[in-house]
Amino acid sequence: MITTLLVANRGEIACRIFRTCRELGISTVAVYSDADAGALHVREADTAVRLPGAAPADTYLRGDLVVAAALAAGADAVHPGYGFLSENAGFARAVQDAGLVWVGPPVKAIELMASKTRAKELMAAADVPLLAPVDPGSATAADLPLLLKAAAGGGGRGMRIVRELASLPAELTAASAEAAGAFGDGEVFAEPYVERGRHVEVQIMADGQGTVWALGTRDCSLQRRHQKVIEEAPAPGLDDGLRRRLHDAAVAAAQAVGYRGAGTVEFLVSAGGRPYFLEMNTRLQVEHPVTEAVFGLDLVALQLRVAEGGPLPAAAPPAPAGHAVEARLYAEDPARDWQPQTGALLTLEVPAEPGIRLDAGYTGGDTVGVHYDPMLAKVIAHAPTRTEAVRLLARALERARIHGPVTNRELLVRSLRHPDFVAGRLDTGFFDRHLTDLTAAGAPGQDAARRLAATAAALATAAGAAGGGAGPARLGAWRNLASRPQTRCYRAEPDGTEYEIAYRTGRDGTPAPGTGERVLAARPGAVTLETGGLTRHFTVTTHADRVHVDTTAGSYTFTALPRFSDPAERTEPGSLLAPMPGTVVRLAEGLVPGAAVEAGQPLIWLEAMKMEHRVLAPASGTLTALHAAPGLQVEVGALLAVVQDAPAEAPAHQEETTR
């Protein structure tokens, strides 16, 4: 019987496992890096053990330190969560060699599925349908497009789409380098890339007595950079025959490796409805809550039960009910190439409505750092039908109060309400096709709503400065003379639209914007406006120069602009600034001062939050300064290099001669 469990992970998944442990009466142990000393999972654990350092390679990926921490804390079992060491057979073996219970599949099953190339060979022998691999060295134009994938891991690391043969060698090099950095193994393989394919997976749960459950399907097609963003169960639009094929293939995959515990078999389903085996993840998935909601199960509790040697509760899983949708809330800016964001997370509040579940790794007051994945939380909605679940999730996200770094919340809401998503027309190219529209600043109704929100921000800020109380705010003595309106300027974040708000003070001290709004109340933190006969309430929160405006129809963030610009903020034309804090991992070949560069050419690669980001040349010209080098850690806004425009060619000098 497990009495004390160490979770060899961090963030949201550690908190989620701790929740089940509390319900089962199991004591919990957290491990943490120096960067996570004050993290939520550390605060929620009964005991915590420090792993000195900040980088994953020095902390969460050090299996020897994790095992030592478990023994020091008196734990008798280890749960790996997902990511980090969760699919590392050597770590699983070390846990068991130390006399601890491993809450995961058998070591042999992990080894067989650890390499995607070996896993495909095994699945072919078990008659599981799959895509035939392509030898990159002999690939032809007929094989294009190709998908390059890391053999030793997933999560989008080391993954590249190749559409031109000329770019294949460079993409192979880049994919191998990223895979080596993420998993310690640079092996990369290639397979055909299926255009407009759907990512569909089957959750399995197996015990040690020969019972294997196939717990329905999940659709995880909405992805950015090959990482999932929105998932749902069951996968919509699949006929019964295809569902049976997927279930049968998943069970066959589990039986072929003698599987035990929770796992996921992932498939790519072509536009014609043909399934292909992608990989088997020998761990719990990020998106497991949608399966839990539909089947009424606690998969972590079942993992612990199986790890203790117990059987599954029945020969067959319970009947599914309803539909569930999950959205991953990231600290990132989708409109700027999905750049991860850092800084203080001041507020994170999601409405506690029936049917809504929040699995979070952060709370208000925490700081989002640079070392780990930028996912803040997962929001899950469960309802009797897909239509109701999608609507419920979109509304919960829209009403959430999130103050701090830029997030993908607006993208999630718009995606859930997009006609293609609502109709169930899903494939992995969704964001490639619709990202521009989904991130457009001038989306229908947004400009008017932001102007109204900016007005509320100005009024609340002014009311606060004037010491407004319960009644209308007084912004100075009333004069029986016409006066110029007072003005305040705000920049909407993150799109940068600027608004100038003008208002006058009326006889009763109530600010009168003069833009069609009637001020019913304006006090610090709250404004009520009437526009066109409609009354709207605004909650306004100010942090330094940032103003957050929350309404029941959406939230907006503004930066209060100073009257005069700061000359110190000016930068030299052609400067390449770090878009985020991170580590320089490599430079373009031959990149030295004096080198000629082309506009849009990748010059510098930064790694931040488990992702690589390219810094591109802003224009064609000459590199006149280089301040970056591999291994250098930089802060956001740090000067990396300077590119000066190429000078126009001077006319050739002609020397006149006389005879």
Do 350 and 482 lie in one domain? The reply is no
Do 247 and 345 lie in one domain? The reply is yes
How many C-beta atoms surround the C-beta of residue 131 within 10 A? 17
Q: Is residue 606 part of a domain?
A: yes
Residue at a domain's end among 498, 532, 560: 560
Average pLDDT, the chain: 88
Most trustworthy range by pLDDT among 146-155, 188-197, 438-447: 188-197
Q: In this predicted structure, what is the pLDDT of residue 323?
A: 98
Most trustworthy range by pLDDT among 161-165, 381-385, 585-589: 381-385
Interval 173-192: pLDDT, tens: 888 888 876 677 788 889 88
Q: Reading across the β-sheet that carries 526-531, which strands appear in turn? A: 511-512, 498-505, 486-493, 554-560, 546-551, 534-543, 526-531, 517-523
b vs e for 566-592, b when ≥16 Cβ sit within 10 Å of the residue's Cβ? eeeeeeeebebebbbbbbbbbbbeebe
Q: Is residue 112 part of a domain?
A: no
Do 346 and 432 lie in one domain? The reply is yes
Q: Is residue 377 part of a domain?
A: yes
Q: In this predicted structure, what is the pLDDT of residue 212?
A: 97
Q: In this predicted structure, what is the pLDDT of residue 468?
A: 47
Structural element, H or E, at residue 13? helix 11-24
Number of domains in the chain: 5
pLDDT tops 60 at residue 652: no
Q: In this predicted structure, what is the pLDDT of residue 271?
A: 87
Please give the residue that has the higher pLDDT: either 156 or 457: 457
Cα dihedral value 42, 45, 46, 51, nearest 10 = -40
Cα–Cα distances in angstroms (integers) from residue 248 to residues 148, 271, 504, in the given order: 28, 21, 71
Structural element, H or E, at residue 386? helix 386-399
Interval 491-519: pLDDT, tens: 988 888 888 887 665 555 556 666 567 88
**Cβ atoms of residues 79 and 18 within 8 Å:** no
Q: In this predicted structure, what is the pLDDT of residue 180?
A: 78
Q: Is residue 391 part of a domain?
A: yes
Percentage of the residues of the chain whose pLDDT score is greater than 90: 57
Q: Is residue 204 part of a domain?
A: yes
Please give the residue that has the higher pLDDT: either 200 or 473: 200
CATH number at residue 327: 3.30.470.20
pLDDT tops 50 at residue 476: no
User: For residue 349, with 0-12 CB atoms within 10 Å meaning exposed, 13-18 middle and 19 or more buried, which class applies?
Assistant: middle
b vs e for 606-631, b when ≥16 Cβ sit within 10 Å of the residue's Cβ? bbbbbbbbebbbbeebbbeebbbeee
Return the sign of the alpha-carbon dihedral for residues 220, 267, 56, 335: negative
Do 305 and 321 lie in one domain? The reply is yes
- Cα 545 to chain center, whole Å? 27
**Cβ atoms of residues 182 and 217 within 8 Å:** no
Interval 233-251: pLDDT, tens: 999 999 999 999 999 999 9
Place of tokens 């006969």: 533
Q: In this predicted structure, what is the pLDDT of residue 444?
A: 54
**Cβ atoms of residues 437 and 411 within 8 Å:** no
Q: Is residue 605 part of a domain?
A: yes
C-alpha 101/C-alpha 375 separation (Å) is 29
C-alpha 20/C-alpha 37 separation (Å) is 23
Do 429 and 490 lie in one domain? The reply is no
How many C-beta atoms surround the C-beta of residue 437 within 10 A? 10
pLDDT tops 60 at residue 376: yes
Q: Is residue 137 part of a domain?
A: yes
Q: What is the DSSP letter of 637?
A: T
**Cβ atoms of residues 170 and 160 within 8 Å:** no
Give the 3-state secondary structure of residue 429.
coil
Cα–Cα distances in angstroms (integers) from residue 395 to residues 381, 389, 483, in the given order: 10, 10, 43
Most trustworthy range by pLDDT among 257-271, 446-460, 494-508, 617-631: 257-271
The residue type at 643: V
**HSE (side-chain half, CA atoms, 13 Å) at 526:** 7
Return the sign of the alpha-carbon dihedral for residues 186, 191, 196, 201: negative
Q: What is the DSSP letter of 592?
A: -
C-alpha 250/C-alpha 605 separation (Å) is 38
Vertex 283 angle, CA 319 and 609, to 5°: 120
Most trustworthy range by pLDDT among 152-156, 445-449, 638-642: 638-642
C-alpha 236/C-alpha 200 separation (Å) is 10
* Of 195-204, 556-565, 590-599, minimum mean pLDDT range: 556-565
Q: In this predicted structure, what is the pLDDT of residue 80?
A: 98
CATH number at residue 137: 3.30.1490.20
C-alpha 269/C-alpha 248 separation (Å) is 15
Do 259 and 330 lie in one domain? The reply is yes
β-sheet bridge partners, residue 582 = 634
Q: Is the peptide bond prior to 494 cis by the omega test (within 30 degrees of 0)?
A: yes
Residues 637-645 have a mean pLDDT of: 88
Please give the residue that has the higher pLDDT: either 88 or 440: 88
Most trustworthy range by pLDDT among 369-373, 566-570, 632-636: 369-373
Percentage of the residues of the chain whose pLDDT score is greater than 70: 89
Phi and psi for 43 in degrees, rounded to 5? -70, -30
Nearest to 263 by CA among 324, 298, 213, 301: 213
C-alpha 498/C-alpha 491 separation (Å) is 4
Count the helices and strands in the chain (H runs, E runs). 15, 38
Do 477 and 602 lie in one domain? The reply is no
* Of 255-259, 445-449, 518-522, minimum mean pLDDT range: 445-449
Residue at a domain's end among 192, 222, 242: 192
Do 218 and 348 lie in one domain? The reply is yes
Q: Which residues have a Cβ under 8 Å from the Cβ of 654 and sit 6 or more positions away?
A: none
Do 209 and 186 lie in one domain? The reply is no
Do 237 and 145 lie in one domain? The reply is no
Do 354 and 451 lie in one domain? The reply is no
Nearest to 455 by CA among 545, 533, 518, 544: 518
Q: In this predicted structure, what is the pLDDT of residue 149?
A: 84
**pLDDT band at residue 484 using 50, 70 and 90 as cut-offs:** low
Q: In this predicted structure, what is the pLDDT of residue 614?
A: 85
Vertex 556 angle, CA 555 and 562, to 5°: 155
Residues 120-134 have a mean pLDDT of: 80
Place of tokens 């008017």: 448
Interval 74-101: pLDDT, tens: 999 999 999 999 999 999 999 999 999 9
Cα–Cα distances in angstroms (integers) from residue 4 to residues 10, 432, 500, in the given order: 17, 45, 58
Do 206 and 328 lie in one domain? The reply is yes
Nearest to 263 by CA among 277, 287, 281, 276: 281
Q: In this predicted structure, what is the pLDDT of residue 191?
A: 86
Residues 100-105 have a mean pLDDT of: 98
Nearest to 110 by CA among 321, 326, 279: 279
Q: Is residue 110 part of a domain?
A: no
The residue type at 468: G
Residue at a domain's end among 410, 438, 466: 438
Nearest to 263 by CA among 202, 191, 346: 202
Q: How far apart are the first and last CA of the chain?
A: 108
Nearest to 349 by CA among 373, 327, 376: 376
- Domain with 147, as residue range(s), is 132-192
Please give the residue that has the higher pLDDT: either 16 or 495: 16
Structure tokens belonging to residue 590: 């031959």
